[in-house]
Structure 1
Amino acid sequence: MENYPFFVVLFLTAITGGSTDVISPGECRECSDGSGCAYRYQFCNGWNTCANGEDENEDLCRDLECETGKMKCKNGIHCFPEYTLCDYYAYCKDGSDDDHEMCKNRTCLTDTTKCNDGIACYSQQDRCNGVELCQSGDDEDMEMCKDFQCPPDHVKCADGLQCIRTKYLCNGYPSCKDESDESKETCTDFQCPPDQVKCADGLQCTRTSSLCNGYTSCNDESDESKETCVDFECGEDQVKCQDGIQCIYENNLCNGWPDCKDKSDESAKVCYGYKCPDDQVKCRDNIECIYKSGLCNQYTSCNDGSDEDEDLCK
C-alpha cells in the first residue's frame, strides 16, 4: 500500500473488497490531523471535512462505493445524490451529473416527464405547483395548467393555474402566488382540521397544541392573548405560569432555565416546595433541580455551583 496518512490506511482497510457495510452511518471517524471527524456521507462528496483533506483522498475515493441513493461522478472519485441528476445544477466538479448529452439520452423514471429541452425530468406532483423546474418553463405552462387537474389532497388557487396542498389553506402563510389561499373569500367559511382552531380574525387556523405556549402562532397574536388564555386549560403534563396565561411542561419547572416569560417557573415561591423527580436532586439554593448524574462530574450544573462543592465531592 502506498504511503497514505494513517487514518486513510485504516479507512481503506475497512472497505477492503469494496464493502462499506462495516462503516456505521452514525459513526464519525476522527481526522488524523485532529481537526474533527467525518461521517460516512461526508467522504468523497467533493468537500473537505478534515482540514488535511484525507476524507477526499482520490485513491481512497476510487475504491469507495457510494452509499445507497448516490452515484459516482464520471471521474470515479466523488459521489452525488441521485435525485440531483440532470437538475441543471452541477454537483460533480467535472459537471458529469448534468452533461447535456447524457441527460438527453436518459430515460425518465415511471410517472415522470421530460422537460421540452430534454434535460430534466419532473413528476406529476411538481406540475403546476408554482415553481419552475424546467428551464424551458413547460412544467408551469399557463395553457397546460388551466386544464390540469391537481393531484389528490391539492386544490387550485384562484388564478386557476397553481396547485397547492389542501393542508396549506388558511394557515397564515400564503402558498398561492396570488395569496388566494389566505383570502377572506377562502378562509371565512373554511373549517379547520380537527386538531386546529380559528384565530380571532376568523381566517387563520392554528394548532390547538400551540395555544398559550408563549410563542405567537396567529398573525393577530390572539393565540397568546389574555382573552384566549385566562380560561384555557393547559395540556397533559403542563402547568400555568404565575401570569395565568402561559402553559409550560411540568418537567421544565425549577430546572434553572426560565420557560415562563414571567420567570415564575424558577422563582423561590414555586421551587422551594417543589419536589424534584426521582432521578434529580435539589441544589443548595433549594430552588434548582439537576440530574444526579451531574453531581461531582467536574462540570457545574447548579447555578450556585454547589454540585461541585469540595465537601460534597470528597
Structure 2
Amino acid sequence: MPHLFYSSPPLSSCHPEPILCDLGEFHCHDQQICIPEAWLCDGEPDCPDNSDESDHICAQEVVIRCPLNHIQCIGTRKCIHFNKLCNGARDCEDGYDEGVHCRELLSACHELRCRYGCVMTRNGTFCFCADGFEVGEDGTSCRDHDECAMYGACSQTCMNTYGSYRCSCTEGYILQPDRISCRAKQGEQHTCIHETMRCKSKIHSIPEKHQPGCTQPI
C-alpha cells in the first residue's frame, strides 16, 4: 500500500489586510489605522504615517469640532479656551477673542449669575463650567459632562467619572502614553498562526483585528 503524504497548508501572511473605517473616521494612508475625523489637522500626528497632518489633507475643507469649553477662531482651525476670551491678550490672529464687547457686556455677565464663569463673545453672553462639566438646563448651574458620549474619547473602552473620564484597553492591548489610544502588546501585534487555526481558540491570544477573515471573537 503506498504511503500517503499530506502537505500542510501555508502559513497565513503576516501582511495585514486593509480595514474599513466607520462613519466619522479617517482612514490613515497605511490602510490599517482609523482615527476620529475630529483629530484631523489638529497639529498632533495620530496616524503612524502622519497622514492626518499632511498638507494634502489639511489643505482640504475640514469640519472643526472644538472641545468642550472651547471656541473656534473665525476662519481658522484653532480653538481656544473660554478663559482666553476677553483676557486682554490676542489669542486669535484677527483679535476675534478681544474687542469693545468685552467691556460693554460686563454688566450682562453679572446679571446671568453663572455658577462658574461667564463667556463674552461678539454674539452675546452665556455661562460655562469647569473642564469636565457642562451647563445645566437652567443655563447657570453645572453638572458632570459625560466624555464617553463623545465619539473618539477613547480608542476602545471609556469609563466616565465625576468631572473626568478614564480610558482602558481590551485584553491583548496596552494603553499608550496619550492615555487614549491602545496598541497590541509586544509579541502579539505581528504574530502569525497556521491558516487552519485562525478564529479557533483563545489559546492563541491573537487579537481579532490581526486575524484577517475572522468573523467571530476569539
TM-score normalised by L of structure 1: 0.25
Higher percent of residues as helix: 1
Higher percent of residues as strand: 2
Greater RCO (Cα-Cα under 8 Å, separation 6 or more): 2
